Amino acid sequence: MPPGAPYPPPQPYGQQYPAQYRTPQAQFGQPAYGQPGTFQPAPGYPPGGPRRGSPLRSLLLGIVLVVGIGVFAISLMHYLSGGADGDDIATSPGGVQTTTAPAPQPTVKVPAPDSDPPQIPQPKTFDQAEQWLVSNPVYQQAALVPTDCPVPGIDMRTAPVGELTTHLNELTACLWRVWSGPLEAAGYQLPRPPVTVYTQPITTGCGKLDEVNAVYCAADQRIYYAKPLWKIFPADQQTLPFVVESIIAHEFGHTIQARTGILISSMAFEQNASDSEAKIFSRRLEVQADCLAGTFTASVGPSSGLSDGDLANLRDVFYSLGDDVLSGQANIQGDHGLGRSRKAWFTTGQRNALIGTCNTYTAAKSSVR
């Protein structure tokens, strides 16, 4: 797609819920939206939204969550070569500062990837959906930082599909180790999602995926990664340590959101909001996944041989995935967040083990712009 061209129209994905859960599927087109206003989470979350306590008449099944690059062609690569400005959180002289807090250790062995997981939690009312977004029990939990789970390096450009598939599925074992304890302590299940690496458009539970994409599909609870994805990064980021792992950590962040009810609650409000408010809900969902990805990198970084410099480089990678950087439009109202916002939330995750610090649903709209 040439720079400045209109985004493709939203595409429907997947099947529908039975009975009351019949709605269009999630989208990853990025039409323009108006300026956001001031976020006031309660009462009546969001302002002008559904009546509190009213039943949820429609929720999404085939929700597809992408890292923010699926709708952009390789021709946009040159936009990624700019500097990573907008670091909203200063780097300390000693590097990343994480808040180490006790987190429950997994009580069972790491499970195999689950191809038939239980259904994701579904709120019954908008009041319950609001509670899951702003005061979810998982926010009271903390990830185990650091976690002794070494992740070997891999060259995402040259690794054969089979090797990359094995690597990313082994990576989810470390992701499960970091996140299963907090989720279980909050009363949730965390099946381990399979990862599929593909080289051409692929049909999933969420429909057909592009050749260049990274996706969590809630319809089949799987993660999909396109082998050519490395091409969208600037040359100086393509060989950095832990880039592909951080992308999968973002998609696993959507897994966490799905398993805690955050994902489907957010999408329910998004569908019932105005166009501008819907875009803000989408960004809250995406930068929260960025934040969780940041926590994971800090957790396994020491055992994986990542230096403070390596972790700082990953912040610039997430800056490069901003709506403005990818599109070349500085004032775009996208659905994933500006580079500075994505970098700031990723950095927040790197510096904090408490999951509540990734609560983007009570944050100011300006912080998820």
More confident residue, 176 or 3: 176
Q: How large is the average pLDDT for residues 19-39?
A: 26
* Ramachandran region, residue 114 (left: φ > 0; alpha: ψ -120 to 50; beta: rest): beta
Tens of pLDDT, residues 244-255: 999 999 999 999
Residue 210 pLDDT class (50, 70, 90 cuts): confident
Mapping DSSP to helix (H, G, I), strand (E, B) and coil, where does residue 224 land?
strand
Cβ-proximal residues to 218 (8 Å cutoff; 6+ apart), any chain: 60, 61, 62, 63, 64, 65, 120, 206, 254, 258, 263, 264
Sheet holding 195-198, edge to edge: 64-66, 214-217, 222-226, 195-198
For the whole model, what pTM was predicted?
A: 0.79
Judged against a pLDDT cut of 50, whether residue 226 lies above it is answered with yes
Packed helices 275-300 and 243-259: angle between N→C axes, nearest 10 degrees: 120
Residue 212 pLDDT class (50, 70, 90 cuts): confident
Judged against a pLDDT cut of 50, whether residue 15 lies above it is answered with no
Lowest mean pLDDT among 105-109, 229-233, 236-240: 105-109
Tens of pLDDT, residues 124-175: 999 999 999 999 999 999 999 999 999 999 999 999 999 999 999 999 999 9
In angstroms, rounded to a whole number, what is the distance separating the alpha carbons of residues 113 and 136? Answer: 26
Judged against a pLDDT cut of 50, whether residue 117 lies above it is answered with yes
Residue 177 CB-half CA count within 13 A: 17
**Cβ-based neighbour number of residue 80 at 10 Å:** 23
Looking only at the bridges linking them, the beta strands covering 222-226 and 195-198 are parallel
Tokens in use for 7?
Answer: 């985004």
Tens of pLDDT, residues 43-95: 344 544 444 455 665 554 556 666 554 332 222 222 222 233 333 333 332 33
